[in-house]
Amino acid sequence: MRIATFNVNSITARLPRLLAWLESSGTDVLCIQETKCTAEQFPVDALKELGYESAVNADGRWNGVAVVSRVGLDDVVKGLPGGPEYGGVQEPRALSATCGPVRVWSVYVPNGREVAHEHYTYKLAWLEALRSAVAEDAAAGRPFAVLGDYNIAPTDDDVWDRSFFEGMTHVTEPERAALAGLREAGLADVVPRPLKYDHPFTYWDYRQLCFPKNRGMRIDLVYGNEPFAKAVKDSYVDREERKGKGASDHAPVVVDLDL
């Protein structure tokens, strides 16, 4: 079973490439972030033609998450139970579903913007709510994982130059402590470092030739419980999908399970 996570940075802009990637990669379940569309605009029919069911949590702004599956899609929960609001609303940043033998969450963790910004405080509160919300699934006997754009680089080795990020979000101790909270809840990063190259980054800014210069970050993560981790037989970042015209600024992270 092949499961992946991909911040598409607008599913409308990325749809032809996404459909082609799903066909070529043989992905069974894909967790999608940053759909940037309403639920009604999500390409359910185009995905259905490839054999995928869709579950969507989106409101048309810069957020939005989804899970698409060709192995079943049941027990869908939209939103983060107990999650904080920002600007008076609970943003569409989480969605969970059962896909065959595996339960997954697709999450798009708030960016945080700046350490002194209220969005950073919101980010930490959101991560604490996530830890609480996933605890029951993490303790269950079935394979379970939280996949998505965490907007956190777990270690200094997960950014191209730690000094460049001094005083910035994504690398602060409180954010990394929030990841430790997920580990305390029974989840672990199942995509090991190093993979097939020294720096398996998952995000490169469009500006300043960051991708050609490999000035990236590893912020798209897969955190799984013990049954999920034991089933992992391979994992990789599909860096090729970041190349070329019309690419997202993120690359898919793919995990193969032996179930």
Per-residue pLDDT tens over the stretch 192-213: 765 555 558 999 999 999 999 9
Q: CA 117, CA 31: separation in Å to the nearest integer?
A: 28
Supply the pLDDT for residue 20.
Answer: 98
For the chain, give the percent of residues with pLDDT over 90. Answer: 95
Does the structure show a pLDDT above 60 at 67? yes
Helix (H) or strand (E) holding 175: helix 173-184
Supply the pLDDT for residue 195.
Answer: 53
Model confidence over 76-108: pLDDT tens digits? 999 999 999 999 999 999 999 999 999 999 999
Q: Among the options 28, 137, 149, 220, which is catalytic?
A: 149
Q: Please give the angle made by the CA atoms of 19, 106 and 75, to the nearest 5 degrees.
A: 100
Residue numbers belonging to the annotated binding site: 7, 34, 149, 151, 249-250
- Written as one letter, the residue type at 20 is A
Two tokens, residue 95: 């969605």
> Does 28 participate in catalysis according to the annotation?
no
The model's pTM? 0.96
Q: What residues contact residue 130 under an 8 Å CB cut-off, 6+ apart?
A: 80, 83, 94, 107, 109, 146, 182
Model confidence over 169-184: pLDDT tens digits? 999 999 999 999 999 9
User: What are the strands of the beta sheet with 53-57, ordered from one edge?
Assistant: 53-57, 65-69, 29-33, 2-7, 253-257, 232-237
> Does 149 participate in catalysis according to the annotation?
yes
CATH number at residue 31: 3.60.10.10
Q: How many domains does the chain have?
A: 1
Q: Among the options 108, 120, 150, 203, which is catalytic?
A: 108
For residue 9, give its domain range.
2-257
> Does 250 participate in catalysis according to the annotation?
yes
Residue numbers belonging to the annotated binding site for Mg(2+): 7, 34, 149, 151, 249-250
